[in-house]
Homo-oligomer: A and B are copies of this chain.
Amino acid sequence: MAPPRKHREALLASAVTLFRKQGYAATGLAEILAASGAPKGSLYHYFPGGKAEIGAEAVRRAGETVTATLRSLAAEATGPGDLLARYLAALAGWMRKSGYRDGCPITTTLLETVPEHAAIRDAGEAAFAAWAEVIADSARKSGVPPKRAASLARFAIAALEGALIQCRVSRNDKPLKEAAAELRALFGAAR
């Protein structure tokens, strides 16, 4: 009897959490398995490629969660500046709540594994592009010309990633607040 599909979900959820908190290299397969509560056989059943396959799938999964969050915020926001302000405020709240132990769910893993692991890199590139597209779409709808909307959205993702690093290192949310204010002004001026 094959292990139930829920074990795959549990393994992935544990991998995302552990990679975000402590990184890819420091997280062993045994730790992912123990945190998930899934039976031992399920790991190689669902991830025959081992840790690199779990890494790529965890980056893809975490990326999709962020994309879904951004889309849901975009539906409520008055424009790209408001969308980013809402998202950065949510990030700041999650980081405070975790005592600045949580950061971006994919950056640490990506920095540790590129360029050796092409599948993880590809998943990361797709995630960043999907996030930027939600922001670019919001910018276009607010009247920012398409080309400028695309480049500003990519810049916003870069600034957001960098601000998350600064927040973790300084253990306060000021870098996210400053980035939100700068980005709001930039998107406003680009209309």
Residues of A at the B interface (CB closer than 8 Å) are 22-26, 99-101, 103, 107-108, 110-112, 114-115, 121, 124-125, 128, 151-152, 154-155, 157-163, 165-166, 168-171, 175, 178-179, 182, 186
Whether B115 and A100, one on each chain, are in contact in the complex, defined by CB atoms closer than 8 angstroms, is yes
Query: Which of B101, B110, B158 sits near A159, CB closer than 8 Å?
Result: B158
Whether B170 and A158, one on each chain, are in contact in the complex, defined by CB atoms closer than 8 angstroms, is no
A107, A162, A171 — which one has the most chain B CB atoms within 10 A of its CB? A162
> Which residues from B are CB-within-8-Å of A162?
157-163, 165
Whether B169 and A158, one on each chain, are in contact in the complex, defined by CB atoms closer than 8 angstroms, is no
Whether B23 and A111, one on each chain, are in contact in the complex, defined by CB atoms closer than 8 angstroms, is yes
> Which residues from B are CB-within-8-Å of A154?
166, 175, 178
Whether B112 and A169, one on each chain, are in contact in the complex, defined by CB atoms closer than 8 angstroms, is no
Query: Which of B23, B125, B151 sits near A170, CB closer than 8 Å?
Result: B125
Tell me, in angstroms, the Cα distance from A176 to B150 when the chains sit together.
15
Whether B165 and A111, one on each chain, are in contact in the complex, defined by CB atoms closer than 8 angstroms, is yes
> Which residues from B are CB-within-8-Å of A121?
169, 171
Q: List 18 A-B contacts (CB under 8 A).
A: A23-B112, A24-B25, A99-B115, A100-B114, A110-B168, A128-B166, A128-B169, A128-B170, A151-B178, A154-B178, A155-B163, A155-B178, A155-B182, A158-B179, A160-B162, A161-B166, A162-B162, A162-B165
